[in-house]
Structure 1
Amino acid sequence: MTQQGVRWTADQVLALAPDAPSRKAGSKLGVAGPWSEAGSTGEGAVWGLCKGSGSKPYQTIVDIADVAGPAYKCSCPSRKFPCKHALGLLLVWAGSDGTVPDGGEPPAWAEEWLAARRKRADGKQSPPATPSAPADPEAARRRAEKRAERITAGTTELEQRLSDLLRGGTASAEQMGYGLWEETAARMVDAQAPGLAARVRELGAVPSSGPGWPVRLLEECALLHLLDQGWLHRDRLPDGLAATVRSRVGLPAQAEGPPVRDHWVVLAQYDTADSRLTTRRIWLYGTESGRTALLLSYGAAGRAPALALPVGLALDAEVTGYAGAGQLRVELGEQFAAPVPTARRPAGVRPEEAVARYGAALRDDPWLESWPVTLAEVIPARSRNARDAQGRQGTQGTQGTHATQGTPSTPDSWQLADPVTGSALPLAPSAASRPGLWRLIALSGGTPLTVFGECGHRGFTPLAAWPQDSGETVSLC
């Protein structure tokens, strides 16, 4: 059990899964059948033997009380953390059906791993024997200046490429193909500006993105031009905006300033991946400060990042913010206790206030894709356009033909509506294709609920929700 004597929910366990296949495989093992000699302690250790295809069962143990997040050990050959056996064990433990009893003594193989972890933790708390040599500040300054010169040369070249594109007309972009943009992105990598390289690659994909692409291409060109000019004139910008420009270009940043201790509720956790990197985003909410913060964790392509926090739990910890205007990213510092369940949630706002907050954030960061907001008392509903389209299909069909039912896969068919004011936020196309939308619709059942998500220029992406009569966080990722 956790420190509060409450076991996790199945949703909180599955939120730890590194990917969808692991979530599915772990769910199949979340029953009593494959497990034997399972148990748990009041200190947060859960263990068990899982029957596999071989003659020997897999030895699985999880330390849920680790202040750095759950830790896992399994004798299976999987390289995923947690593996399907660890997820299955936690699901059985969460079920509270007696399969994983409390108050037991760990077997020798489990105790050996736990003892080794305690020893390593004690070693980390000890001060280093010899202090590390201080870095050479003069050498660091010269490296920074040299990199800035390369980035300046890269942005100047990129400005010329954008000028050539617009001079020739946007119609020519469709004939250029992706190769030209990939070459330009490679030049930005050579200039040590990975942020510019990423935006250039996105620019190359716009001409093949469907109807309306010329408008989107102009919008992206304008944002890229704005970033170029921001870098070239960064000495004239306010400190916060200059820090944002440096971050957007791709310069590394460090957390700075005094740490903020709070009870941070884990609102949502989800991964995005490309050919180079897997990025995990974890949204936190401080119950005392009222602050929303973002943790980022990275893993190699195809590998889940190391940091994983169960959605709906709260951790007593310190975080330190990164420099930049309107910057929400933080670095997780000292944690004073293991994550525990909580009924706290952020206060919600109306849809019009959510849009206003995103607009205000754009003043500090014009390249911002979205802003975290919590909507209060909204109902998932079909949009008017979708209802009209359904009505036309019904009236145009022959006798006996039924109107096609709208599905969440239709990008503009769903919105979150305020039944009091009548205002609504359309869901982003990416959100409309996720299974989490069906869960949100079922959770609401036509009644208002509280929804946390990201509000941006593409619409609203719901990430978590709370029914009116329950404090339990329901993950929608």
Structure 2
Amino acid sequence: MIERWSRDQVLALAPDAASQKAAAGVSAPAKWLVTGVTGAVVWGECKGSGAKPYRACVDLSEPAYKCSCPSRKFPCKHALGLLLLWSADGAPPVEEPVDWVGEWLDQRRERAARQEAREKAKAEAEPTEKAEKVTDERRARQRAERVEAGLADLERWLRDQIAHGIADARRTGLRDWDELAKRLIDAQAPGVSSAVAGLSRVLRHEDWPARLLAEYGLIHLLAVGYRRSAELPADLAETIRSRVGFSTPKEAVLARPPVRDHWQVVATRDEERDRLVSRRVWLHGRATGRPALVLSFAPVGQVLDASLVLGTTLDADLAFYPGAAPLRALVAERHAPATPIQAPPHGIRVAEVPGLIADVLARDPWTESWPLILTDVVPARSGDAWHLTDHHPKEENAVPLLPSAAPPWNLAAVSGGHPVTVAAEWTPDGLRLLTTWDEYGRVVTL
């Protein structure tokens, strides 16, 4: 049985002095049409200004309050007045509460049961979650050990290659690189494995020895960088982890501070490899001038993400993956529907390209492509080679196009000898043309 409270104990529950005064005004028995005490619950119906009385009840075990009045104070004057009446022995004991009190008690019991079930489920899940966490940590340690061992083996292999020379690379390289790439897959370093497997492309060039040495140098730099990542700045260490093959969960990316801008969709490109299609969507921040790459993947025959439409602008937050030269991003939130690009984006001059790429490579030496918006350029031909040049006769700045690409006749047709804005993808071998804008401001795929 609940011990009866004193008047001072009841008034101490009031949220303010005004509530104490108002409670005293409704604590007289004449104000209450009916009152009762059932177990630990005091309840009653108090006369109000309207036709219906205010229904108030208090669960003394917590205490918890309920009243039908519109007051925002908690507890309200009616609940306090009821308690004052009860403390003065003005509420008689009743075996069964009225219906509305019983409904309130049933609701409280249901909520308590749900809360108890949640707590029980949480308590039961905690050992499983702890076990999963321990398992994840153990797997992470095991992978780190395998990667370290695999890259240590890679460093020894590279030292042997340099010690014995690379003259036989044309004869034995493909077999050696394939075997090494498989060992790096076993070591759970897929990024390095892909770099090794791609070494065969250098043999297509006349200056393959110089190119091969450069590639060996970059792979060795990656292995040493991973081994000494604890000594490096955090963003560079993240870049190296990514290049080695560690992925960053989407949840972790979306938790990073976003960058809001009006992002212009300036180019898209699909690429198929190993029965998997990747879609690369290049964005350009209208205010920040910042480039962004949104990647999506799908098996061959399935539909790729088509939410980013070429030639449109979206007011959105982008969350960038961590790194020394962050480029890849996720669309975190859209603030408005996409709208057509009204004018070509503002870009850079051809003369600024070497400095920009040098800055990117200084931050991430393993960069293989970077988006560019080039302003006031025209396509030009020198023998069989094509390049983009500034539209200024006195300047001789030019950026070569990919030698393997088809002649850019469609760009020449759009340009007609006049300067245009071009979106292109820089690669070490030359520019890959993506899009341009005609004289009416319409985007043209190249």
TM-score past 0.5 threshold: yes
State the match for 1:461 in structure 2: 432
Matches within 5 A, 1:190-339: 190-207=186-203, 209-254=204-249, 255=253, 256-301=255-300, 303=302, 305-307=304-306, 309-339=308-338
Task: Quote the Cα distance in structure 2 between the aligned partners of 1:158 and 1:276.
Answer: 28
Task: Quote the Cα distance in structure 2 between the aligned partners of 1:177 and 1:456.
Answer: 24
2:344–2:421 contact (8 Å) kept in structure 1: no
State the match for 2:360 in structure 1: 361
2:276–2:300 contact (8 Å) kept in structure 1: yes
Deviations 1:9-47 (A, max 9, x none): xxxxxxxxxxxxxxxxxxxxxxxxxxxxxxxxxxxxxxx
Q: Tell me which of 422, 431, 447 is aligned to 2:396.
A: 422
1:287–1:344 contact (8 Å) kept in structure 2: no
1:265–1:344 contact (8 Å) kept in structure 2: no
Q: Are residues 1:472 and 2:442 paired?
A: yes
1:267–1:452 contact (8 Å) kept in structure 2: yes
1:165–1:173 contact (8 Å) kept in structure 2: no
The Cα of 1:308 is off from its aligned counterpart by: 5.1
Q: Are residues 1:153 and 2:183 paired?
A: no
Task: Quote the Cα distance in structure 1 between the aligned partners of 2:184 and 2:265.
Answer: 36
Q: 1:233 to 1:143 in 2, by over 3 A?
A: same
The Cα RMSD (Å) is: 2.4
Q: 1:189 to 1:301 in 2, by over 3 A?
A: farther
Instruction: Return 268-277 or 144-153, whichever deviates more.
Output: 268-277
State the match for 2:88 in structure 1: none
Q: Are residues 1:142 and 2:138 paired?
A: yes
The Cα of 1:331 is off from its aligned counterpart by: 0.9
Larger gyration radius, structure 1 or structure 2: 2
Q: 1:304 to 1:272 in 2, by over 3 A?
A: farther
The aligned length equals 316
State the match for 1:345 in structure 2: 344
Task: Quote the Cα distance in structure 1 between the aligned partners of 2:431 and 2:371.
Answer: 10
Deviations 1:260-316 (A, max 9, x none): 333221110002222253221101122233322110111225655334532101223
1:266–1:282 contact (8 Å) kept in structure 2: yes
1:178–1:205 contact (8 Å) kept in structure 2: no
Task: Quote the Cα distance in structure 1 between the aligned partners of 2:430 and 2:148.
Answer: 34
The Cα of 1:336 is off from its aligned counterpart by: 3.9
Q: 1:324 to 1:331 in 2, by over 3 A?
A: same
The Cα of 1:138 is off from its aligned counterpart by: 4.1
Deviations 1:155-208 (A, max 9, x none): 11111222222222211111215232112111111111110110010114433x
State the match for 1:27 in structure 2: none
Task: Quote the Cα distance in structure 1 between the aligned partners of 2:173 and 2:161.
Answer: 13
The Cα of 1:343 is off from its aligned counterpart by: 1.1
TM-score normalised to the size of structure 1?
0.62
The one-letter amino acid of 2:398's match is: A
Task: Quote the Cα distance in structure 1 between the aligned partners of 2:396 and 2:173.
Answer: 44
The one-letter amino acid of 1:423's match is: N
Q: 1:301 to 1:180 in 2, by over 3 A?
A: farther
The Cα of 1:364 is off from its aligned counterpart by: 0.7
The one-letter amino acid of 2:191's match is: G
The Cα of 1:460 is off from its aligned counterpart by: 1.9
TM-score normalised to the size of structure 2?
0.66
Deviations 1:60-104 (A, max 9, x none): xxxxxxxxxxxxxxxxxxxxxxxxxxxxxxxxxxxxxxxxxxxxx
The Cα of 1:419 is off from its aligned counterpart by: 2.7
Deviations 1:347-367 (A, max 9, x none): 122112112101001111001
State the match for 2:411 in structure 1: 440
1:351–1:425 contact (8 Å) kept in structure 2: yes
The Cα of 1:339 is off from its aligned counterpart by: 2.6
State the match for 1:3 in structure 2: none
Task: Quote the Cα distance in structure 1 between the aligned partners of 2:271 and 2:354.
Answer: 24
State the match for 2:17 in structure 1: none
Task: Quote the Cα distance in structure 2 between the aligned partners of 1:137 and 1:346.
Answer: 47
Q: Unaligned 5+ residue runs, structure 1?
A: 1-128, 387-409
Task: Quote the Cα distance in structure 2 between the aligned partners of 1:257 and 1:231.
Answer: 23
The Cα of 1:318 is off from its aligned counterpart by: 2.2
Task: Quote the Cα distance in structure 2 between the aligned partners of 1:471 and 1:194.
Answer: 42
Paired-residue identity, %: 41
Task: Quote the Cα distance in structure 1 between the aligned partners of 2:178 and 2:445.
Answer: 37
Q: Which has the higher contact order (CA 8 A, sep 6+)?
A: 1
Task: Quote the Cα distance in structure 1 between the aligned partners of 2:345 and 2:191.
Answer: 32
1:453–1:462 contact (8 Å) kept in structure 2: yes
